[in-house]
Chains A and B, each alone.
Chain A
Amino acid sequence: MTRHPLQDLSIKLKLTWIITLTSVVAVALACVVFSTFEFITERIRMVRILEQRANIIGVNCDAALAFSDPKAARETLATLALDPRMIAGRLYSNEGKLFAVYERPDEKAEHPDRPEADGHRFTRGRLTATRGVFLKDNRIGTITLTQDLRALYMRLFRFLGIAWVILLGSSIVAHALASRLQGVISDPILELSMTAKAIAREGDYSARALKRGQDELGALVDEFNEMLDLIQKRDDQLRRELALNQATLEATTEGILAVDRKGKIVRSNRRFLDMWRIPEQLLAAHNDDRLLAIVLDQLKEPDMFMSRVREAYASPEEDRFETLKCNDGRVFERQSKPQRLGAEVVGCVWSFRDITERTRAEGEMRASQQRLSLLAGSSPLGVIVWDLDFRVVEWNKSAERIFGYAQAEAVGRHASFIVPEKWRAGVDKVWENLLAQRGGVRSHNENLAKEGRAIVCQWYNAPLIDSEGKVIAVASMVDDVTDHMEAEAAIRRLNADLERRVKERTALLETANKELEAFSYSVSHDLRTPLRAIEGFSQVVIEDYGGKLDDRGRNHLQRIRAATHRMSEIIDDMLTLGRVTRAELHREPVDLSRLAAEIIAEFEEGQPDRRVLCEIDPGVQVRGDPQLLRLLLENLLGNAWKFTSRTPDARIEFRSNEHQGRPVYLVRDNGVGFDPALIDKLFKPFIRLHPSAEYPGTGVGLAIVMRIVARHGGQIRAEGATGKGAAFFFTLEESIS
């Protein structure tokens, strides 16, 4: 493309000049057109005027010609002198002879003898017109007039002069206007370019060009700004990416080194420098050779490394992998990956990982694994050993049986193959805890056996720990408890069922209890009232009307009274029995020894003439309901008191012994005792083993005793023989040790 000479001018100048030039050319063109038109018009006019004049002079000379008076003709011609433009006039006779002539004095004109043909011609600054002279339509001669064209030229020159002035003026005005108005177009463009320059200089993509109008330039500014938006976004993104890359580079535990095709270091991270103990200045100084030397210095097999490095540069598109051993015992894993830009390999990224620990752990693990596999082989539990990546290392026969995977299938797989999705998180947690040695020793979860069979397993896990206390692997023993779980579930179902039935029964019992309560209440009131009437009126009859009865009648009334007394006692005991069963149990510390002593003292007070040897173990403390316990002792001691009433050297004991670690309390007497064959009936209410004539009572006492013991969660049993006394042993669930 050829360069236009004006191409390098500023837009401002270009615009100004384009406008100016355009205006000048337009004005000049107009001037030329006008001048030409004027010139031609003027020529036509001159011809017409000259021909008219020739006609007029011809008419004026027709008489002179007709009468061949040359003098008159000359005089007429001489009037031409009035017009200084007229150069010459010639009048020819009809015969073609020069008849009269006029010449401007300063002009030497030729006068041809023969007249010219009618018409006009322009010759060398002159215009010549030739016309016929007529007299009554008869041609009598010819007249020729010649005039100079000075006037025409003068006019033309003047015209051109004015055109020039106009041209000059208009070009100045056009230039002035153009330089003023070009701003409308050039200013936004210049501003745009300034903005662009500023952005390029300062790199600040947030700057925006100002929009001035809705024209094409406005649109241009919009597009420019949109473009800036885009660039700004890209710029931001780029920065972020860069920051992220840098952060990633530093965050990784691997040493990273990026080189270009020629092996020059492009980027590296802190870890890389630390691993290879490279001073930072060295990197900053770009002394790559020295750097390589430092690395080689530390390696056990530097030559091997160098040859690998050369290989890597020779075919950079391949991933490479190598284990490096250092002189100080550290082991690194090197991996190189090509860096591609599109399809082209532009460099290579090397990563170094310190696997010293892992290598050592693997070594130790192998050893412990061998020990373990000996044990594992014969275990009825599944034994599985996991490496630190939670992959199977060991898988014994029982594990094969439990999970259905053969050892070859399982080894090397990550644990997730036997962990159902929903248990993953929990299992991962257990795993974390195991590695951190924070527990996870027992776990219980669902597992997946082969073909997706769900089983429930009990796991016993133990981290395998090396000599330095680091975890190198984890051993798990696993038991399939699916059947066990199902059995448990069945038990739970049965329990739930049982509980429901107990609830139903309890409800029934509660209802029955309430009814019983109402019944008891009713008995206490309503059975006593008529009894009292019977007793009372019998007494009144005996007292007030006894005289009217014989002994037999009085005796019958006494029997009525005795019977009512008995019935009243029975009612009282029934009520007591009911109360003992229903009353709420208030447990508190009770001193049984003291209670027993108090009761015996009451008995002695009631029958001061009786002599009974009482032995009470001191300090027998229990927890129980004080009222019920008092009732208990009252009944037991009361029986003892009652049934020793005919025994000489009567003796009553209250003792506290221990049987199988539990305290057992004992009330014993040497009274009449009982027939052991009837022991079953002993604790049944309203059943008596002795005639009430000898030993009064309702037969409810031991039933009450039994209930009180039962309510305290204890047990009672009796020992005895006819005539050899009786002993009652009882326990109370709670005791103060």
Chain B
Amino acid sequence: MSPKSVFLVEDNQDDVELTLLAFKKTAMLNEIIVARDGQEALDYLFGAGAYAGRDVNAQPALILLDYKMPKLNGDEVLARLRADERAKLIPVVMLTSSRDEEDRRRCYTNGANSFVCKPVDFTQFVEAMRQLGSYWLGLNEPPPVCSKARP
């Protein structure tokens, strides 16, 4: 795994593919790991369920989290991440179709680092992904590795 992987949590297959396509068009080479729902995302991050035994010290550099998902909703996943030492500091960007005020409030309250509304226009979407990637994976200084800083 490359040092700066991106963890995409998205239930909609179309969106997954479009996101992967967008990333491809931005020519970013970072590894993209996909979880198809909230529970899978948590399992992955905490090395549980199907991902039991995964090295949880090797966490993704950025989490792109869909807001509206079946089972566990985006903000619930966020709340669980933030409550756990192992995933507490990982930057999380909420990716959603909604601009709903209440949703935004909830996400920021639960510790989202960013809230991005997915543009319908694919060109704009690619541009958004490019900016996200260059900012969060390039410009932005990542948090100290949390599992070592706080056992």
Residues of A within 8 A of B (CB): 521, 524-526, 528-533, 535-540, 543, 561, 564-565, 568, 575
Contacts and interface: CB of A to CB of B under 8 A. Distances in A.
B19 to A, nearest CB: 9
Contacts of B96: 525
A524 B98 contact: yes
Contacts of B67: 525
B134 to A, nearest CB: 21
A540 B21 contact: yes
A539 B122 contact: yes
A359 B97 CA distance: 96
B12 interface: yes
A533 B15 contact: yes
A564 B123 CA distance: 13
A565 B97 contact: no
B63 to A, nearest CB: 20
Nearest to A533: B14
If over half of B's interface residues share one DSSP class (helix, strand or loop), that class is named, otherwise mixed; here it is loop
20 contacts: A524-B98, A524-B100, A525-B96, A525-B98, A528-B98, A528-B118, A528-B120, A529-B97, A532-B97, A532-B118, A533-B15, A533-B18, A535-B120, A536-B21, A539-B122, A540-B122, A561-B121, A564-B120, A565-B121, A575-B99
Contacts of B123: 539
B125 interface: yes
Nearest to A576: B99
B68 interface: yes
Contacts of A536: 14, 18, 21, 122, 125
A568 B118 CA distance: 12
Contacts of B68: 525
A160 to B, nearest CB: 143
Contacts of B14: 529-530, 532-533, 536-537
Contacts of A526: 97
A631 B120 CA distance: 23
B118 A521 contact: no
Closest 4 CB pairs of A and B: A539-B122, A533-B14, A528-B97, A536-B122
Nearest to B68: A525
B97 A535 contact: no
Nearest to A538: B122
B130 to A, nearest CB: 15
Interface residues of B, number: 20
Contacts of B18: 532-533, 536-537, 540
Interface string B108-129: 0000000000111111010000
A529 B12 contact: yes
Nearest to A575: B99
Contacts of B121: 535, 539, 561, 565, 568
A536 B119 CA distance: 10
Contact of B122 (A530, A535, A575): A535
Contacts of A565: 120-121
Among B12, B68, B120, max chain A CB count under 10 A is at B120
Nearest to A583: B101
Given A525-B68, A536-B21, A540-B21, 20 more contacts: A521-B98, A521-B100, A525-B67, A525-B96, A525-B97, A525-B98, A528-B97, A528-B118, A532-B15, A532-B122, A533-B18, A535-B120, A536-B18, A537-B122, A538-B122, A561-B121, A564-B120, A565-B120, A565-B121, A575-B99
Interface in B67-124: 67-68, 96-100, 118-123
Contacts of A564: 120
Contacts of B122: 532, 535-540
B120 A524 contact: no
A539 B125 CA distance: 11
B100 A531 contact: no
Contacts of B12: 529, 533
Nearest to A540: B21
Contacts of A524: 97-100
Nearest to B102: A521
B98 A532 contact: no
Contacts of A530: 14
A572 B100 CA distance: 11
Contacts of B100: 521, 524
A721 to B, nearest CB: 38
Interface string B8-33: 00001011001001000100000000
Among A521, A529, A575, max chain B CB count under 10 A is at A529
A543 B18 CA distance: 13
A533 B122 CA distance: 9
Nearest to A568: B120
Contacts of B98: 521, 524-525, 528
A543 B24 CA distance: 13
Nearest to B14: A533
A531 B99 contact: no
B37 to A, nearest CB: 15
A538 B120 CA distance: 12
Contacts of A532: 14-15, 18, 97, 118-120, 122, 125
A538 B125 CA distance: 13
Given A521-B100, A525-B97, A536-B14, A531 B120 contact: yes
Contacts of A528: 97-98, 118, 120
Contacts of A521: 98, 100
Contacts of B118: 528, 532
Nearest to B118: A532
A561 B14 CA distance: 16
B72 to A, nearest CB: 16
Nearest to A527: B97
A529 B14 CA distance: 9
Nearest to A567: B120
A527 to B, nearest CB: 8
Contacts of B99: 524, 575
